[in-house]
Amino acid sequence: MLTLTLRELRAGDRESAVQLASETGVFRPAELDVLAEVLDEYLRSPEQGGYYALVAELAEWHLASAEAPTQEAGEELALPPVIRPQSSPRLASFSPTAAGTGAISPPSSNVALAGFVIFGPTPLTLHTWDVYWIVVGKSYQRQGVGRRLLEAAEARIAAQRGEVIRVETSSLSSYAPTRRFYEKHGYRLAGTIPHFYARGDDLCIYYKCLYG
């Protein structure tokens, strides 16, 4: 039996997180370098750096008694409290379209990092936050992992009195699933900046108001 747990990102997750992002095939080398820098910054001062980071971890339960947790196929577990992190080149350009439901594919070992989210308060604003990265491993996409991570980030932002969430991503066709993911979860397109990332690669700015 597999369970999905959300917890704060730890130092031991750094390499796995970068590798997970690399294996999606979405991010360029420069973007992966920025991700590594962001993770290093977060890990240096997780309580002071203005960033939050949460990972989704799959673990295999060995049921020893009738009191062990149970989970039906596709059932979502309750969200635990959240985390702390920073920004990326294409900010919330996230590889998976993790919007589906269903049984989670088994990890290759007893514990596997399925995805992560990085977010933080937007500088020079009173109640606006940025979601910088959401990444879900290729083996775990379209199974609800991305949704769980986004909901957890939103819950922590709300608990910190955040009211507006901003997301920036690319206009490229390869990012169409990313844009649909945010739109499905209540994010609205505020506007675009043509050729922002490169010629023909526009910046798409999404937002969501948590209150009203």
| CATH code of residue 102 | 3.40.630.30
Domain membership of residue 204 as a residue range: 2-209
Contacts 24+ apart (CB under 8 A), 43-46: 43/9, 43/11, 43/14, 46/8, 46/84
Partners of residue 51 on adjacent β-strands: none
The tens digit of pLDDT for each residue in 43-62 reads 998 767 788 999 999 886 54
Residues 173-196 have a mean pLDDT of 97
The tens digit of pLDDT for each residue in 125-139 reads 999 999 999 999 998
Query: Of all residues in the chain, what percent carry a pLDDT higher than 70?
Result: 75
Per-residue pLDDT band at 63 (split at 50, 70, 90): very low
Q: What is the pLDDT of residue 46?
A: 78
Q: What is the pLDDT of residue 59?
A: 81
Distance, first Cα to last Cα, the chain: 40
pLDDT at 3 over 60: yes
Mean pLDDT of the chain: 81
Structural domain total, the chain: 1
Give the C-alpha separation, 126 to 147, whole Å. Answer: 26
Q: What is the pLDDT of residue 58?
A: 86
Q: What are the tokens at 194?
A: 């043509």
Q: Which residue has the higher pLDDT, 9 or 48?
A: 9
